[in-house]
Chains A and B, each alone.
Chain A
Amino acid sequence: MRRSWFRPLAALSPRASATLWVASFVLPVALWCAVSYVPFIWHTMVRVRDPGDVSWFTPGQLVERAAFDAENANVLAHHGKLAAGRLANPVFLPAPHEVLHALVHGFLTPPARPDEPWLHQSLWHSIQVIFWGFLLSSILGVPLGILCGAVPALGRLTEPFIEFFRYLPAPAFGALAVAVMGIEDAPKVAIIFIGTFFQQVLIIANTTRRIDPALLEAAETLGASRRTLVTRVVVPGVITDIYTDMRVLLGWAWTYLIVAELIGVSSGITYFINQQAKYRAYERVFASIILIGLIGLTTDVVLASLGRQIFPWMRGARRGWFSAAIDLFRRREPEAAVVDPAVQA
């Protein structure tokens, strides 16, 4: 039984699957705890709490353990006051409890200066920038991608240039975007757009090409016109795969966010992180980074669950809250309700 975990492509039992899911989070956190709390693993430095009689020590300073011990031996020899400190690791890695504290209290702590945004304001700002950038990109990119995949002539006309353009790094357009669109949110949305759009068209075009050609032939023998082939066979045939692609692409959009927010007037979660780093509040820096991860993970889990609801033909699909809601809607207005044939169960 245990051996089958490591067989290539072996199916996992639900229990094993859940255990491994949890473990994938527990293991890194455990490693982090070990590095932070277990002294003999990676504590080559001492953080000075009380300099004592050592002239060059200051509170909060990181000192090599050897130097710290040498100075204290020196002080002891002269009957002076000993310096105090605690063992620390050599990077700015705060301990889990500090980050957790910052995470919990981050939303409640007012900003250091009155003109700075609160954490939740920063986050909300970032989410808005992502949302608009990704939405604009998808409105253009998804239909174009599907058309490029479905109509080879169009794909051939469009894709080589897009292939070229996607190698141009989106941040390189930062200065240009600011010059054209000002210093507020517009250039930031533009950077996310540039970063997402070109990848999106190519990925979705490739996904579209993976449709089973026999389905198109079957539809043709049933009398489908060219347009119907696209709207009623190609689109529903690849929509579940495109949905998965979009989840991956949304993750990419978040990576462009950090660059985008540095352009023009720095804003959003990036500004918050930079400010906290300036104040040397590294636990808040880590808390913010973790927060981005949590938002990303939550969005993805919610979208995956939503996918199983709106695409009932997918393997592993469940009838659930979404179709129940649709049913309610349809029962009330059986005539007027225009429901995607896909979701009509």
Chain B
Amino acid sequence: MTATLTVPDYREQAPEVAARFTRLKERPVILDVQGLTKTFTVPGRPTTLALSDVSFRVHRRELMCVIGPSGCGKSTLARLVAGLEEPNGGKMLLDGKPISGPGPDRGMVFQSYTLFPWLTVLKNVMFGLEVGKGSSATEAEEEARVWLQLVGLTKFASAYPHQLSGGMKQRVAIARALANRPRILLMDEPFGALDAQTRCQMQSYLLQIWKQVDITILFITHDLDEAVYLSDRILILDAHPGRVREVMEVPVPRPRDQDQFMTPAFIAARHHLEELIHPRSAQTADTLPMFRMTVVGDDVE
């Protein structure tokens, strides 16, 4: 690594990228979050402020990543939007209507797969269709097969979740969430438990799916490359308390592919994230208070 490498400004956008953002912002707002606040109270401990006055908007068919240091409340944000937690203040509007409680209009993909182990892959995808939309079993099956085809798992329709690999499980979870035709798909570090290679593969699958399906995605991650690679815009949160630091427009043109990792735009975006999330000053402060425990002269560096 050469420290002298000059990185272009992440705000410089190629004309086609700028045009794309203009079009994106003209699209209707799907999710409108205003002044969202969330505190956690544990008896006998001081109240912790997880999210403080968080506001942002997600437009139709946008893919927005939420990134931030650990403890910034990014998972809490997804759970609030999903309706799994109650906010302490602020408003969340989905298509202009306030969110209350979980519902099939907001799909969620969890890091821990959460497939129902007692159902086959096909039945897992059918679950939401039957339970949430009230489709008949035959309708649901027909539709579920289409979604399985979309994630390339037709062959595994009658397999049980424990027979699948992590990446395959997560594809089923995505198909299951999408089958309900939610307005927004919330993904809470969905690829966090996968190995690096599978993760790359899943990212490109997700981009392909997102391109083919009318879906808006709010994607929680702590992986900077993942955020830049996937997002239109990135919501950067600060920790303790979690608040919006910046909403960054990713200058990398679409369609994306893995080769763009070395383009100036990608490096610029990534560099900016790095500075915001792992500031250089914090890194030096983190040196371990270590005693020398080797023989003098036995140096490795």
Which residues of A does B touch, CB under 8 Å?
A: 212, 214-215, 217-225, 228, 232-233, 236-237, 239-240, 311-313, 315, 341-342, 344-345
Note all chain B residues with C-beta closer than 8 A to A237: 116-118
17 contacts between A and B (CB under 8 A): A212-B114, A214-B114, A217-B108, A217-B114, A218-B173, A221-B83, A221-B106, A222-B131, A223-B131, A223-B180, A225-B131, A232-B127, A237-B118, A240-B118, A311-B118, A313-B117, A344-B123
Contact A219 B117, beta carbon cutoff 8 Å: no
Contact A217 B103, beta carbon cutoff 8 Å: no
In the complex the two chains form, what is the Cα distance from A313 to B160 in whole Å? Answer: 6
Contact B118 A218, beta carbon cutoff 8 Å: no
Count B-side interface residues using an 8 Å CB cutoff: 32
How far, in Å, is B197 (CB) from chain A's closest CB? 25
Contact B118 A221, beta carbon cutoff 8 Å: no
In the complex the two chains form, what is the Cα distance from A214 to B107 in whole Å? Answer: 14
Note all chain B residues with C-beta closer than 8 A to A225: 131
Note all chain B residues with C-beta closer than 8 A to A233: 116
How far, in Å, is B162 (CB) from chain A's closest CB? 7
B87-117, CB under 8 A of A: which get 1 and which 0?
0000000000000001110111010101011
How far, in Å, is A341 (CB) from chain B's closest CB? 6
With most chain A CB atoms within 10 A of its CB, the pick from B119, B131, B180 is B131
Contact B162 A313, beta carbon cutoff 8 Å: yes
In the complex the two chains form, what is the Cα distance from A240 to B162 in whole Å? Answer: 15
> Quick one: closest A residue to B104, CB to CB?
A223
How far, in Å, is B172 (CB) from chain A's closest CB? 12
In the complex the two chains form, what is the Cα distance from A224 to B131 in whole Å? Answer: 6
In the complex the two chains form, what is the Cα distance from A215 to B84 in whole Å? Answer: 12
In the complex the two chains form, what is the Cα distance from A218 to B162 in whole Å? Answer: 17
> Quick one: closest B residue to A228, CB to CB?
B131
Given A313-B118, A313-B160, A218 and B132 touching (CB < 8 A)? no
Majority DSSP secondary structure for residues of B touching A: loop
> Quick one: closest B residue to A340, CB to CB?
B118
From B84, B118, B133, B173, A220 is in contact (CB under 8 Å) with B84
How far, in Å, is A161 (CB) from chain B's closest CB? 26
- Report if B208 contacts A (CB, 8 A): no
- Report if B70 contacts A (CB, 8 A): no
How far, in Å, is B191 (CB) from chain A's closest CB? 17
- Report if B59 contacts A (CB, 8 A): no
Contact A217 B102, beta carbon cutoff 8 Å: yes
- Report if B176 contacts A (CB, 8 A): yes
Given A223-B131, A223-B180, A218 and B119 touching (CB < 8 A)? no
Additional pairs, 13, CB under 8 Å, beyond known A217-B108, A221-B83, A224-B131:
A214-B112, A215-B116, A217-B110, A220-B84, A221-B108, A221-B186, A222-B128, A228-B131, A233-B116, A236-B118, A240-B118, A313-B160, A345-B120
In the complex the two chains form, what is the Cα distance from A109 to B133 in whole Å? Answer: 66
In the complex the two chains form, what is the Cα distance from A23 to B117 in whole Å? Answer: 35
How far, in Å, is B299 (CB) from chain A's closest CB? 40
Contact A221 B131, beta carbon cutoff 8 Å: no
In the complex the two chains form, what is the Cα distance from A341 to B117 in whole Å? Answer: 12
Note all chain A residues with C-beta closer than 8 A to B133: 223
In the complex the two chains form, what is the Cα distance from A220 to B117 in whole Å? Answer: 16
8 Å CB contacts to A: which residues of B10-40?
Answer: none
Contact A217 B118, beta carbon cutoff 8 Å: no
- Report if B82 contacts A (CB, 8 A): yes
Contact A219 B110, beta carbon cutoff 8 Å: no
> Quick one: closest B residue to A342, CB to CB?
B118
The 5 A-B residue pairs whose C-beta atoms are closest, nearest first, are A223-B132, A223-B104, A222-B128, A218-B114, A220-B102
In the complex the two chains form, what is the Cα distance from A311 to B160 in whole Å? Answer: 11
Note all chain B residues with C-beta closer than 8 A to A345: 120, 158
In the complex the two chains form, what is the Cα distance from A217 to B112 in whole Å? Answer: 12
Given A218-B110, A221-B82, A232 and B131 touching (CB < 8 A)? yes
